[in-house]
Structure 1
Amino acid sequence: MHHPSDLSALAGSTVLVTGGAGLIGSRIVAQLRVLGARPVTLCTMSAYPERVYADLFGVHVSDPDVVLGDIRDTALVRKLVSDSDYVIHAAALADVAACTREPLAAIDTNIAGTQSVLDAVAATDRIRRMVFVSSASVYGDGNPEETDTPELLTMRQLLESVLGRIPPQFHEFTRRRPVSVYGNTKAWGEEQTSLILGQVGTSYAIVRYFSVYGEPQTVKPNSHSWVVAWFAARAHLGLPLHLNGGGRQMRDMVHVDDIAEGTLRALVSPRAHTETVNIGTGIPTSVRQVAELVREHYPNTGFLDTPLPAGDPLGGYAATRRMENILGCKPKVTVAQGVARYVNWLRDTPAAAPGWLRESTAA
């Protein structure tokens, strides 16, 4: 008798993971292998230098189950989907700043690419479930006026006049109000998943990731995502930490191990059928608090207040009751533990602080 979200149900199955070479995808793939499933990775592997995929993420193009390709290649996607039992669609242009700079690229990958995957899944009756990977960015900054009672709203306004902004808790039924191109493409993907797969009766689940971090995450130029990796890498090199907007933005920092487990549980839990579920910790952490946790490991680190980038939400934190009830899981890694793990990993893997960041330091 299987537990409602017993991961052993995946043993012997083939799972297509789009974007499976990235930080989250590679962790999902590793967990699938441990469970006795056959994960097939489809990825362009263009987000990082090849050595990052091989040396940090453990993904090798020589692996026959790693397919170098694009989700917009409809014939390729259809072939891979037709040979699979499950699909996790995690491939995306996932960098908020890159999507803001190049909205057409975001539309191309996150909308046209998602449609390609959905068409392939809808065309076969073999897929037991598809999980669409979404993001807390669909909530934007939230709007408490829509969910608070008049009494609560008055209390919130009074508290905020004294304490400053109180971060909202995002429930799955909170109205989506994305403030970035990236968030907008994810909101579209959610609607399109339920529309296309609902019409043909294919089971699906939607997971909304909050702020993912954890080793072996590594930073990319001109990006303001992945705050733990940025802060730790800069502190490691003796650079000041840039607190965009003073670091007052709130994030629900969730470790990649907990993200991977939640995603796999969404793949098998009977109760997750057609549901949308947050994957977070339920604890708000400010960007400044993350900087302070990093500084505990690098005591001489300085802080520098910098402007808030376009499309960077003030944020909030996850309501996690549905995650616990539907997926049967709770996050295991606290932010303090996760930051310590990342710092220790970085000290053991100094090459993970990228060359271009070292060069900018030298300059």
Structure 2
Amino acid sequence: MNNRLTALSGRHVLITGGAGLIGAVIGRMLEAAGAHVTALDNLSSYETMPTLLKADEHESGLRIGDICDEDLVRDLVRDSDYVIHAAAHSTVAGCTRDPETAFHSNVAGVETVLRAVADAGNVRRFLFISSAQVYGHGAAGSDAVQTFTEDQPISPLNVYAAAKAWGEWQTRFLLNAAGVDFTVVRPFSVYGEHQVPKPGAYSWVIAQFAMYAAIGDPLPLNNGGRQVRDFVHVEDAAAGICLALVGEEAGGQIVNLGTGRTTSVRRVAELIQTHFPDAQLCDAPRPAQDPLGGCADINRMSQVLGWEPQISVEAGIARYVDWLRAVPAAIPDWLRTEGDRVASWNTGAVPRI
């Protein structure tokens, strides 16, 4: 536990989406620091997940409910010193296929939480979890590897990213007017234990490749795996978010959360191969609009948080593989019967960021 998080000892922290991948890790870190954590979640992210991985509905601090339930949200916010908004309909493909649900979760829900925070008068800081997706193809376009900085223009390319960009602006608009302190963070490619791919979502390549290898399927390398990403382990992402909640210099800032290093998709496949020597790699065409990618500029993160991620991609992949071997039932049934992945990844696929 970072010593600076002891400032949260005895404080009440509300985490929307608190049963999700990132939210659950944030909650554990805050509880270890002595905070009283309430996790608000509708458990929708568990719909396609094996039963044994689902959140315990009787777990202390978990409130099952919808972020659009204004009365519930206002009651929880009134009892909170800090609010972290992690709830979202969180896959690009899912938002594209179901824009109504995306609007409910990623726009209407954000508005409900923000207005509750603005009106409460007791919240010390609100933290909005945005996404590196807001950068789109960046200033150099989709055919260049680049570094993304918080001050460059954003250019969202899909429903999910557009909602995150709107959430950033609405956070500034409403909370500046209300005099409430806030921080916006933009995590890059978060991965780690308990991450389970969703049907039709062409993302989370570390989890996908590990599961493909575990069931003996080949690992498809779109564009030969030349695309690069800034992979940040979920524990590092959660640590950065917790520090952004208490860091004095983080107030009013937009902060990237990444490692500042690029790792190619081919390198991910090769690292998976070290744990599954029989895994085969196969070339696949580059999906439409799949960017070569890049990494986070972490100068502001280092300055305002005084921190950098600690878990390397090599160590993080090893941890994921160990977890998967310990919990093989985490591999969903649909993934085992997915069909021709090369063909499906070449038809209407979306960027894996």
Flag whether TM exceeds 0.5 (same fold): yes
Q: 1:76 to 1:312 in 2, by over 3 A?
A: farther
> Partner of 1:157 in structure 2?
none
SS at match of 1:123: helix
Distance 2:203 2:64 in 1: 25
Distance 1:350 1:94 in 2: 24
- 2:29 aligned to which of 25, 28, 31: 31
Distance 1:249 1:99 in 2: 23
> What count of residue pairs does the alignment treat as equivalent?
338
Greater shift after overlay, 349-358 or 178-187? 349-358
- 1:338 aligned to which of 297, 316, 323: 316
Distance 1:206 1:38 in 2: 22
> Partner of 1:168 in structure 2?
146
Question: Shift in Å at residue 165 of structure 1?
Answer: 4.5
Question: Shift in Å at residue 64 of structure 1?
Answer: 4.2
Distance 1:62 1:51 in 2: 18
Question: Shift in Å at residue 77 of structure 1?
Answer: 0.7
SS at match of 2:44: coil
- Note the 1:114-263 alignment, pairs <5 A: 114-144=110-140, 165-263=143-241
SS at match of 2:90: coil
Question: Shift in Å at residue 358 of structure 1?
Answer: 3.2
1:281 counterpart = 2:259:
yes
Q: 1:291 to 1:17 in 2, by over 3 A?
A: same
Q: 1:11 to 1:55 in 2, by over 3 A?
A: farther
Distance 1:168 1:284 in 2: 9
Gaps of 5+ in 2: 340-353
Distance 1:325 1:358 in 2: 45
Q: 1:325 to 1:168 in 2, by over 3 A?
A: same
Summarize deviations over 1:116-162 as a string: whole Å, max 9, x none.
110000011100001000100001111139xxxxxxxxxxxxxxxxx
CA contact (8 A) 1:207 1:278 kept: yes
Distance 1:309 1:191 in 2: 31
Distance 2:101 2:293 in 1: 24
Greater shift after overlay, 263-272 or 174-183? 174-183
1:48 counterpart = 2:41:
no
Q: 1:249 to 1:87 in 2, by over 3 A?
A: same
Distance 2:71 2:282 in 1: 49
Question: Shift in Å at residue 276 of structure 1?
Answer: 0.5
SS at match of 1:223: coil
Q: Which amino acid aligns with 1:192?
A: Q
Q: Which amino acid aligns with 2:211?
A: A
Question: Shift in Å at residue 360 of structure 1?
Answer: 4.8
Summarize deviations over 1:287-320 as a string: whole Å, max 9, x none.
2221121112112222233455566543221011
SS at match of 1:225: coil
Gaps of 5+ in 1: 146-163
Question: Shift in Å at residue 37 of structure 1?
Answer: 0.6
Question: Shift in Å at residue 354 of structure 1?
Answer: 1.8
Greater shift after overlay, 347-356 or 265-274? 347-356
Distance 1:104 1:244 in 2: 30
Distance 1:310 1:119 in 2: 38
Greater shift after overlay, 302-311 or 42-51? 302-311
1:104 counterpart = 2:82:
no
1:69 counterpart = 2:79:
no
Q: 1:273 to 1:144 in 2, by over 3 A?
A: same
SS at match of 1:144: coil
Greater shift after overlay, 177-186 or 260-269? 177-186
CA contact (8 A) 1:170 1:316 kept: yes
CA contact (8 A) 1:96 1:311 kept: no
Distance 2:288 2:175 in 1: 34
CA contact (8 A) 1:111 1:189 kept: yes
* Normalised TM-score (structure 2): 0.90
Q: Which amino acid aligns with 1:88?
A: I
CA contact (8 A) 2:48 2:198 kept: no
Q: Which amino acid aligns with 2:63?
A: V
SS at match of 2:120: coil
> Partner of 1:353 in structure 2?
331
Question: Shift in Å at residue 63 of structure 1?
Answer: 2.3
> Partner of 1:90 in structure 2?
86
Greater shift after overlay, 216-225 or 232-241? 216-225
CA contact (8 A) 2:223 2:285 kept: yes
Question: Shift in Å at residue 56 of structure 1?
Answer: 3.6
Q: 1:309 to 1:25 in 2, by over 3 A?
A: farther
CA contact (8 A) 1:132 1:206 kept: yes
Q: Which amino acid aligns with 1:298?
A: F
Q: 1:29 to 1:312 in 2, by over 3 A?
A: farther
Q: 1:197 to 1:312 in 2, by over 3 A?
A: farther
**CA RMSD for the aligned pairs?**
2.0
CA contact (8 A) 2:144 2:292 kept: no
